Structure 1
Amino acid sequence: MGSEKDVFVGAALVFVALISQSEGIIGGREAAPHSRPYMASIQRPEGDGLKHECGGFVIADQWVMTAVHCMPNGANGRKVVLGVHSLSQPEDTKQTFDILEHNLYNHPRFSIDTFDNDIALIKLDRPFNASEAVKAVEFLRSGGVNPTTDDEVETAGWGSLNNLEARPDKLKEVVVKMISHGRCSRSDYFGKKVTSNMMCAHKKCSDPCDQPYPVEDSCDGDSGGPLLYNGVAVGITSKGGKKCGQLKKPGVYTIISHYTEWIDRTMGVQPAAAGGQES
């Protein structure tokens, strides 16, 4: 029988492992500075400054896409920062924008229970200055080809590092793999909370695994950021935050191509001849 000291050490290791499961971009690596110029940091006022809260991504001049659950009750003084790599260091590339309440468009059928329709659009208070550090990314429209099971996709963000909400200072990125909708909606995964407007992805950590969790994944604070397939945004990080790093709780992403009509209508874009699916 082990000593009380052994029991204490074992309990401490279990506690550390539990905390590790709440890390931000699980696994992955630091992105090359400004290699993802479409990335946006949505920040809330804190004291005399701002603190990163959610991600987003530039899809057109003056327009950023994100998740409704980042700002379900309005902007409340939050700002969008573009051209950012380090959250703390001064960078000449950074551009900061106000989010005017009437310029925040949350999908009207967002469900707080399932996170269905977790898509929002922000019209910046002015056009951004396009540069190598700030530019739009293409997003998949209705009729386009979404990734399927085991396809590799990418995501990025400044997500939480632990349960104490410590954040990485610099943008992280990770490559994950698509999981079939059938598996993700099984009762031992997310069950009925995964709707037809969602897709799931993570990746088992390579053997030997040099991290204390079995998969690479998105997590809390990465919400609102893009999921990319062949360089095109196909998803929005939605439910990445509560079960990070667990085999049966992959990241869940809103399928952008299901919202072409709503996006075009919101942005005032003239629709194409072929109709889009509306959710």
Structure 2
Amino acid sequence: MASKKQLAVGVALFLIALISNGEGIIGGREAAPHSRPYMASIQVPEGDTLKHECGGFVVADQWVMTAVHCMPNGANGRKVVLGLHSLSEAEDTKQTFDIMELHNHPNFNIENYDNDIALIKLDRPFNASTAIRAVELLRAGGTNPDTGAAVETAGWGSLDNLGSRPDKLKEVVIEVINRGKCRRTDYFGRKFTDNMICAHKVCQECVRSHRIEDSCDGDSGGPLLYNGIAVGITSNGGKKCGQIKKPGVYTIISHYTEWIDNTMGTRSAAAPQEAS
């Protein structure tokens, strides 16, 4: 039989594993099929198939918003799939698009992911349906969620730090974290800027194990929603998922209203291009 010391060590290792790996978008649940019709999957060619790489969301006819760090060096043959719930199953609602234009924010900072916002112009307008439609964006002057506010995110990202991926869309309700806390050196320090929101949630049923609900690798580029309006873009969801002092970081969309309008307005009439 194991000694009390061995049992204590085993329990400690189990708790460390929980803190390190978390569970589930991390945590959350499977979304109802097509209940989030703005969701997009950015997929990279892999042999004769396509593999989910990043998220995105429909913001206007022919336009999808995502994060710069998903495609910092251009589209390079990637596709955008709309109207899907399952990544692998055949669904009549799915529509696949080439990327005609990629506009990465010119002030994106690879060191801290500041200004991590990008716009994709699809090669053609999508056929609107109950499974595909745009989500409203919070614009300049709008009210962003404050500390403790419940916000939502969704994606096909990793279920844990080991990289296991779901086949079907997952969603999670999390809470906005105090900005001062996110600026602490044991959180993000100076890398956390005024253009960012951080959020996660400690699972209330398992406070003792400190299990965290969070976004993770593969969720990047997806939306953060507050009262049904997109207020953020998943930015650092792939970094140390599910850890208490490394909550998800999201780009604040309302800080980029002018750039968004210019990109989808005057620039959309320009010749197709890939902007860096």
**2: distance between equivalents of 1:172 and 1:214?**
17
How many residues matched?
266
- Residue 162 (structure 1) shift: 3.8
Are the aligned partners of 2:160 and 2:241 in contact in 1 as well (CA < 8 Å)?
no
Are the aligned partners of 2:153 and 2:171 in contact in 1 as well (CA < 8 Å)?
yes
Partner of 2:259: 262
Specify the SS of the correspondent of 1:254: strand
Q: Deviations over 1:76-102 (max 9, x none)?
A: 1110000000000000000000113xx
Are the aligned partners of 1:24 and 1:219 in contact in 2 as well (CA < 8 Å)?
no
- Residue 209 (structure 1) shift: 5.5
Cα distance change of structure 1 residues 238 and 150 upon mapping to structure 2, 3 Å threshold: same
Are the aligned partners of 2:64 and 2:119 in contact in 1 as well (CA < 8 Å)?
yes
Identity of aligned residues (%): 72
Are the aligned partners of 1:42 and 1:78 in contact in 2 as well (CA < 8 Å)?
yes
Of 126, 144, 147 in structure 2, the residue corresponding to residue 146 of structure 1 is 144
Partner of 2:177: 179
Partner of 1:218: 215
Mapping of 1:1-279 within 5 angstroms?
Answer: 2=3, 13=14, 16-17=17-18, 20-21=21-22, 25-100=25-100, 103-208=101-206, 213-268=210-265
Q: Deviations over 1:204-223 (max 9, x none)?
A: 1113459x652211111100
Are the aligned partners of 2:26 and 2:158 in contact in 1 as well (CA < 8 Å)?
no
Are the aligned partners of 1:26 and 1:244 in contact in 2 as well (CA < 8 Å)?
yes
**1: distance between equivalents of 2:198 and 2:235?**
10
- Residue 20 (structure 1) shift: 2.4
Point out 4+ residue stretches in structure 1 off by more than 3 angstroms.
1-19
**1: distance between equivalents of 2:165 and 2:201?**
22
- Residue 174 (structure 1) shift: 0.3
For normalisation by structure 2, the TM-score amounts to 0.89
**1: distance between equivalents of 2:163 and 2:118?**
24
Are the aligned partners of 1:20 and 1:213 in contact in 2 as well (CA < 8 Å)?
no
Gaps of 5+ in 1: 271-279
Are the aligned partners of 1:213 and 1:245 in contact in 2 as well (CA < 8 Å)?
no
